[in-house]
Amino acid sequence: MDSKSENELQETTEKLMRDLRAVVQDGEELLRAGAHELSEKGMAARERLAAALDSAKETGRKLQERTVAGARATDRVIREHPYQSIGIAFGIGLLIGVLVNRK
C-alpha cells in the first residue's frame, strides 16, 4: 500500500514536471519565433517572459527536489515505525469513515 502511494506521488510529480517542461519549452519557442518582430513594449514583455520562464524552471527543480526528499523521509519513518504507521492510518481511516457516515 505504501509503494502504491509512493508510486502515485512519483507519477504525479513526473506529470507535473513534464507539463512544466512543456510550458517552458513553448515559452522559449515563442520567444525565439517573435524575437525579430517586437517593438519596445514587445521587447519588455519578452524580457518578463524570459524571467518568468527562468523562475518556472527553478521552481520546478526545487519542487522535484522537495518531493523526492519528502517521499524518502516518509518511507524512512514508515519503515522505522511500521506498527505506529498502521495504527495512525487505521485511526485516520476510522475518523474519516465516521465523518462521512454522519447524518
Q: What is the pLDDT of residues 21-74, one digit of tens each?
A: 777 777 777 767 665 666 776 677 677 777 777 777 788 788 888 888 888 898
Q: Average pLDDT for residues 75-103, to the nearest whole number?
A: 91
Domain count of the chain? Answer: 1
Q: Rounded to a whole number, what is the distance in angstroms from the first to the last CA of the chain?
A: 30
pLDDT confidence of residue 1: 44
C-alpha cell at 61: 527543480
Domain boundaries, position 80: 2-101
Determine contact, residues 26/91, Cβ cutoff 8 Å: no
Task: Name residue, grid cell 510550458.
Answer: 23
